[in-house]
Structure 1
Amino acid sequence: MGIVQRQGIRNTLISYVGLAIGFANTILVLPRLLSPAQIGLVGSVLVPMATIGAQVAAFGFANAGMRYFPFFRNQGRNHAGFLPLLLGPPLIGFGVVSLLMWVGKPLLLQWYAKGDADLLAPHYLAAIGLAGCIMLGSLQDAYLRSLFHTSFSSFCQEILLRLMLVGAAVAYSQGFLTFHGFVLAYVGAYAVVALLLAAYLAAIGELHLRPTRAALRIKPLREMLGFGAFVLLSNISGTVLLNIDSLMVGTKKGFAMAGIYLIATNVSTALVLPFRALYKTAFSLIAEYWKEGDMAKMADFYRRSTRINTLLGCYLALGIGLNLNFIYGLIHRPEYAVGTTAVLLLLAGRLVDGITGVNGIIVATSPRYRFDLVFNISLAAAVVVLNWLLIPWLGLAGAALAYCIALVGINTARTWFVWRTYGMQPFDGRIARILAVAAVAGLAAWAPPELPNAWLTLLLRGSILTVVYGAGVLLTRTAPELTGLMANLKARLTR
């Protein structure tokens, strides 16, 4: 856990600085400067379209690169020409995807009401450009993860990108940009991140763009394409799980409701940041464990990561859920509070996703990686059907419920598969004790009535939650790492 802890700590710090910026952008900036329909257009239509396009173009090579890089590592100064092999097929794929997106424009516009379609049409090309930027950024991020250089990429994606988006929104509000200019600036922010990652690779001496035949002798391109094809289908299924709710809210309820749902999604995103920080290094580390056949270390990492995610996830989920009135009050626009129930359902699904640990990474990097495709396709189909049924009936809450069911279902299946196939499961008595402590702390923080001042209510509930939860964790000894840290701190203070 040494390298994971060091990188994880840096990434967590970066993630939480980014969270503060993202929170200000989501709650204090965008809802005040843009209409719900404009937010829905950018965040619930253009970004999901571009993300799906980027996934198809990359053809699973981001994950394939992390899986196969251990075989190329240190094979000469340029890792046997690995980077050109990683970038080549996706660049060809992007050309094909761009053509398909352009040809499919009339068909896509027919899915939306006329007013929404008229708003989308002038900005449609921006989705194609955004797809290319996202693809290049994800490929370079995967390469940096394989090199165990994750902090700069985290900084660019979590902090710098958000600052640039805030700047674009402010420039639009002050009249320096038209709305179309804002959309172009949005795409430009992702382009800047991709360029900075390339510059960083050059600075650390890892930007090796000259192709070599040696790369094809270490691992045949056909094998990587085969793995990439399965990863592509798996990733597309995962992307459907992440984006289909926003897209279907837009088609069935309009861009304005999609914008409100996007704000609800962003509020719940704070919960997943510590999970993402851990997973940035976990993929490459688990790939190394598979290569070395070290199942004991993998099982230990599985248990530790699950316990840490449970500990942090429960605290954050309670902190967000107990203070939703305060969070929505900061927006000063009552129409967004319609998403409160959706936030709670999204928090529940994402908490389960975090608690189940790194099961998806274990399956995706294992010799039986094809089974992950079965899980994802089945769940993607289920969530599409659930959204189709629940959104007309329950609105935003229906979309969130469908997402929650999908996350619980796929993680239950993956956890069972890893346990049944490899004899590893991450749960023990400590997980049960953490959940019990979280339940008690949540009830204790929820019990006091709301005070006339929203800030005082936030302070009261936050203090009760922190004290009860922290004391419960220490007394039940559910987190050995935290107990050891407190013991060291006590010893230093004594000296």
Structure 2
Amino acid sequence: MGIVQRQGLRNTVISYIGLALGFVSTALVLPNFLAPQQLGVTATLASVATLYAQIAAFGFASVGIRFFPYFRHPESGHRGFLPLLVGVPLLGFAVVTALYFLGKPVLLPWYGQDAPLLAPYYTWGAVLALFTMLYSVQDAYLKALYHTAFSSFVQDVLQRVLIIAGALLFGFGFLSFPNYVLWFVGVNGTITLLLTAYVATIGELHWRPTRQVLTVRPLRELLGMGAFTLLGSLSGSIIMFIDTLMVGAQVSVAAAGIYAVAGYISTALAIPARSLNKIAFPLLADYWKQQDLPRMADFYRRATRLNTLLGCYLALGIGLNLDFIYSLMRNTSYAEGTVVVLLLLGSKLFDGITGVNALIVITSPRYRYDLIFNVSLALLTVALNWLLIPRLGMVGAAVAACVAQVSINVARTWFVWHSYRMQPFTWRIPLILGIAAAAGGAAWLLPALSSPFLTMLLRSTVLTILYGGIILLTNSAPEATGVLQKISRRFIP
């Protein structure tokens, strides 16, 4: 776990700075300066761009991490791997862009009376998709090189600072809303260019194509892996983003904005797992190359325990204090997303508890099976959204997302155990869950005070003391005990 702990610590520090900025952006800035309808426009653009970029990239971000160990050769510029990694997605982008503009008369009418709100920004959706695609490919390249901290910084910190700045400029009248949308797109372009500059700074910007790249692994194998990965990652994105798109189409763009804010709040729960996964992906690829299943199984258990420990604490911290979070928003209509937040927290907590099963499957020789899980769940997600949103509104979308996330992780966890006899659970997992339930229940039973802030402070203090104290007393998470001891030795004489 050495390299994982070093890179993971940096990513975690950056991610939690980003978490604080995300809270400021989500709870204090965006909802106080942008109406739900305006937030719905940017959320819809972001969702469309993500799906668009993934189709165009043809799964090559994951291909880069999966196969880079075979190309790794600094003296030859990694045998021309980077031009291949970027070139195929650019060709895909040209094809998808043509379809995107030809499909405009069909796509916009899905939004009914809200279509005129989105029409002026249709072209900018393609530009945003290009930046999103180039960022994801470069980020994958840096993951394969075990350089993940800078990409975490520009995505989790710098991007949020710039978006906050744009919202403030809009709120104080320096930007019109159309110009704010352009600012939003430009921020994504800025972080993409910064990532390119960083790759050049560390001496890994090897743009010169070589014929050698076609001899290391057959191009047909790379494209085949890319096709399977594309369908898998696209299915995953459908699970993540189709809810916002369908809420906007079936309810309203304003409802999509409220749903997006609820999604932003729940996203904090995914930060520990996302930080760990950035370094876990290439590490697991190396384990498979070396056929070192015992170390992989050990990593699987440790990662699951860490994600459970942090996930339970964050889920309780957010869920217990939603009244305070929504009290910071001047527009009370955003509080309509309370139930959505709770459902999304549950789905993301389960995703963290089941560990890194998705990464194990996608980096394994049986990676094709992941396609079956993802496509089935994507279809289920769309079907559930189509069925539930007209009846339950945005809550229906959250229920669909929760069912999809739980189902896919149960299937993947069973598959990893059945195929490789690896499972992430030890007796410490139910112990941590029990401690979390007890600490959360005690904090929830505390009476509400006159001020939402004081209530938040009281509940958070009680939760932290009970949860952290019992975790340490029972040694249910040895990693946490070790970190605390290191901190004690450093700061306490």
TM-score, normalised by the number of residues in structure 1: 0.98
Q: Deviations over 1:108-133 (max 9, x none)?
A: 1110122x101110110010000000
State how far apart, in whole Å, the 2-side matches of 1:493 and 1:84 are: 48
Match among 442, 445, 453 for residue 444 of structure 1: 442
Partner of 1:376: 374
1:74-473 aligned within 5 A: 74=73, 76-114=75-113, 116-473=114-471
State how far apart, in whole Å, the 2-side matches of 1:232 and 1:490 are: 46
Name the SS for the 1:112 alignment partner: helix
Partner of 1:39: 39
Q: Deviations over 1:331-360 (max 9, x none)?
A: 122111111011000000000001101000
Deviation at residue 291 of structure 1 after TM alignment: 0.4
Residues 1:491 and 1:246: Cα distance change in structure 2 (over 3 Å) = closer
State how far apart, in whole Å, the 1-side matches of 2:66 and 2:297 are: 18
Deviation at residue 494 of structure 1 after TM alignment: 7.8
Residues 1:437 and 1:204: Cα distance change in structure 2 (over 3 Å) = same
| Aligned partner letter, 1:181 | N
State how far apart, in whole Å, the 2-side matches of 1:485 and 1:267 are: 27
State how far apart, in whole Å, the 1-side matches of 2:481 and 2:92 are: 50
Match among 458, 470, 475 for residue 477 of structure 1: 475
Pick which of 160-169 and 138-147 moved more.
Answer: 160-169
State how far apart, in whole Å, the 1-side matches of 2:439 and 2:471 are: 10
Name the SS for the 2:423 alignment partner: coil
State how far apart, in whole Å, the 1-side matches of 2:488 and 2:158 are: 37
Name the SS for the 2:246 alignment partner: helix
State how far apart, in whole Å, the 2-side matches of 1:492 and 1:356 are: 33
Residues 1:183 and 1:490: Cα distance change in structure 2 (over 3 Å) = closer
Deviation at residue 491 of structure 1 after TM alignment: 6.0
Deviation at residue 136 of structure 1 after TM alignment: 0.3
State how far apart, in whole Å, the 1-side matches of 2:361 and 2:456 are: 41
1:49 aligns with 2:48: yes
Deviation at residue 173 of structure 1 after TM alignment: 2.1
Contact 2:306 2:479 in 1 (8 A): no
Deviation at residue 484 of structure 1 after TM alignment: 2.8
1:9 aligns with 2:9: yes
| Aligned partner letter, 1:367 | P
| Aligned partner letter, 1:392 | P
Deviation at residue 213 of structure 1 after TM alignment: 0.4
Q: Deviations over 1:368-404 (max 9, x none)?
A: 0010000000001111111111111111211101100
Name the SS for the 1:451 alignment partner: coil
Deviation at residue 77 of structure 1 after TM alignment: 3.4
Residues 1:145 and 1:494: Cα distance change in structure 2 (over 3 Å) = closer
State how far apart, in whole Å, the 2-side matches of 1:492 and 1:411 are: 39
Q: Deviations over 1:42-83 (max 9, x none)?
A: 11x111111111001100000000000000112633010110
| Aligned partner letter, 2:275 | A
State how far apart, in whole Å, the 1-side matches of 2:310 and 2:356 are: 15
Q: Deviations over 1:396-451 (max 9, x none)?
A: 21110110000000000000000000000000100010000000000110011100
Name the SS for the 1:111 alignment partner: helix
Pick which of 332-341 and 63-72 moved more.
Answer: 332-341
Name the SS for the 1:148 alignment partner: coil
| Aligned partner letter, 2:431 | R
State how far apart, in whole Å, the 1-side matches of 2:76 and 2:477 are: 42
Q: Deviations over 1:211-257 (max 9, x none)?
A: 00001000121110000000000011001000111111001111011
State how far apart, in whole Å, the 1-side matches of 2:146 and 2:431 are: 34
Name the SS for the 2:76 alignment partner: coil
Deviation at residue 485 of structure 1 after TM alignment: 3.5
- The number of residue pairs the alignment matches comes to 493
| Aligned partner letter, 2:249 | T
Name the SS for the 1:205 alignment partner: coil
Contact 2:262 2:340 in 1 (8 A): yes
1:67 aligns with 2:66: yes
Partner of 1:20: 20
Contact 2:354 2:409 in 1 (8 A): yes
1:58 aligns with 2:60: no
**Unaligned runs of at least 5 residues, structure 2:** none
Residues 1:405 and 1:211: Cα distance change in structure 2 (over 3 Å) = same
Q: Percent identity?
A: 57
Q: Deviations over 1:449-472 (max 9, x none)?
A: 100011111111001100110111
TM-score, normalised by the number of residues in structure 2: 0.98
Q: Deviations over 1:275-313 (max 9, x none)?
A: 110000000000000000000110000000000000000
**Unaligned runs of at least 5 residues, structure 1:** none
| Aligned partner letter, 1:224 | L
Name the SS for the 2:110 alignment partner: coil
State how far apart, in whole Å, the 1-side matches of 2:146 and 2:489 are: 33
In angstroms, what is the RMSD of aligned CA positions?
Answer: 1.2
Q: Deviations over 1:170-226 (max 9, x none)?
A: 222233222111111111111111111111111110000000000100012111000
State how far apart, in whole Å, the 1-side matches of 2:399 and 2:482 are: 39
State how far apart, in whole Å, the 1-side matches of 2:35 and 2:456 are: 28
Residues 1:487 and 1:149: Cα distance change in structure 2 (over 3 Å) = closer
